[in-house]
């Protein structure tokens, strides 16, 4: 995993893991930084149940977003990807694998991601 | 954070026909996620799913679907060629493949398969 972590090449892919106890459960984060974008997985069990993609549009100030995998009735991965694109101006892939019953949780998860982006901007 | 990463992942880089090729393999319980790129990007996203009805027949069959990007015949051929063995080795788990290639010659694809093998997480 450390092979390309040196960052010598500008477009080298890096993998970054972190976790945090949020509302009595450990939430894991897995980030794959790519050239011009990143892949972010969020969950407490190692499943990939959905995947949303978001990117900036020339015609709209709000980034475009679409769900390429999973249940389209759940808007959480889409909206999270959209907000992360808004913040980073990058193409963002998001897989959100936590119960959607608690809107507080997704808010806290998003804040945790933003915190990590401030501490490790080179990982996103 | 002292906790171990929940997600198992391996990555490598190799020069194939003079082109830098990066591979990242990630294991999920229901998917194997592979990024194979010569552009540093995910590019075209393809799902490779084993057909359940072929489980009892000796010839395994797969359904490939382009989830994001240009839906070309060659993309399906490359995806199936590159990842059918992964799905089989991973207990018939579907594979999610991010593919961004400059060179999709048969020799290059063969070499890429070996690179994927060196990043076995399943």
User: Which conformational region is residue A121 in: left (phi greater than 0), alpha (psi within -120 to 50 degrees), or beta?
Assistant: alpha
Say which of B3, B29, B96 has its CB closest to residue A46: B29
Which whole-number Å values give the CA distances from B90 to B30, B31, B39, B102, in the listed order? 10, 9, 27, 28
For A119, residues 6+ apart whose C-beta sits below 8 A from its C-beta are none
Q: How many CB pairs under 8 A join A and B?
A: 95
Of B21, B38, B9, the C-alpha closest to B114 is B21
Q: Nearest C-alpha of chain B: how many angstroms from A100?
A: 20
pLDDT, one tens digit per residue, over B38-75 is 999 999 999 999 998 655 667 889 999 999 999 999 99
Q: Please indicate whether, in this complex, the C-beta atoms of A68 and B68 are within 8 angstroms of each other.
A: yes
Q: How large a percentage of chain B has pLDDT more than 70? A: 93
Domains, chain A: 2-123 (3.30.230.100)
What percent of chain A has a predicted confidence (pLDDT) above 90?
Answer: 86
Q: What is the ipTM of this complex?
A: 0.91
In whole angstroms, what is the distance from residue A11 CA to residue A27 CA? Answer: 28
Q: What is the pLDDT of residues B28-41, one digit of tens each?
A: 999 999 999 999 99
Look up the pTM and report it. Answer: 0.91
3-state SS class at A104: helix
Class of residue B81 by CB neighbours under 10 A (exposed 0-12, middle 13-18, buried 19+) = middle
Which residues from B are below 8 Å from A36, CB to CB? 40-41
**What chain A residue is nearest to B95 in terms of C-alpha separation?**
A48
Task: Give bridge partners of residue B26 from the DSSP assignment.
Answer: B9, B33
């Amino acid at each position: 995993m450390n092979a390309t972590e040196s960052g010598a090449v500008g477009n080298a892919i890096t993998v970054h893991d972190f976790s945090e106890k949020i509302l009595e459960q450990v939430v894991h984060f897995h980030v794959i930084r790519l050239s011009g974008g990143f892949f972010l997985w969020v969950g407490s069990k190692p499943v990939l149940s959905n995947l949303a993609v978001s990117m900036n549009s020339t015609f709209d100030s709000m980034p475009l977003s679409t769900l390429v995998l999973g249940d389209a009735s759940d808007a959480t991965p889409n909206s999270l990807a959209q907000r992360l694109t808004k913040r980073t101006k990058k193409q963002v892939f998001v897989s959100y694998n936590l119960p959607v019953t608690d809107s507080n949780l997704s808010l806290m998860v998003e804040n945790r991601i933003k915190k990590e982006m401030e501490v490790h901007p080179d990982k996103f | 954070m002292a906790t171990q990463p929940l997600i198992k992942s391996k990555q490598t880089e190799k020069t194939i026909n003079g082109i830098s090729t990066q591979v990242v393999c990630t294991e999920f319980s229901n998917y194997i996620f592979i990024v194979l790129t010569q552009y540093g990007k995910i590019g075209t996203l393809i799902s490779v799913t084993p057909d359940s009805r072929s489980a009892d027949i000796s010839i395994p069959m797969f359904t490939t679907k382009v989830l994001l990007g240009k839906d070309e015949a060659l993309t399906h051929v490359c995806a199936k060629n590159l990842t059918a063995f992964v799905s089989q080795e991973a207990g018939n788990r579907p594979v999610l493949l991010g593919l961004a290639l400059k060179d999709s010659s048969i020799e290059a694809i063969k070499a890429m398969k070996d690179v994927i093998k060196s990043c076995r997480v399943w």
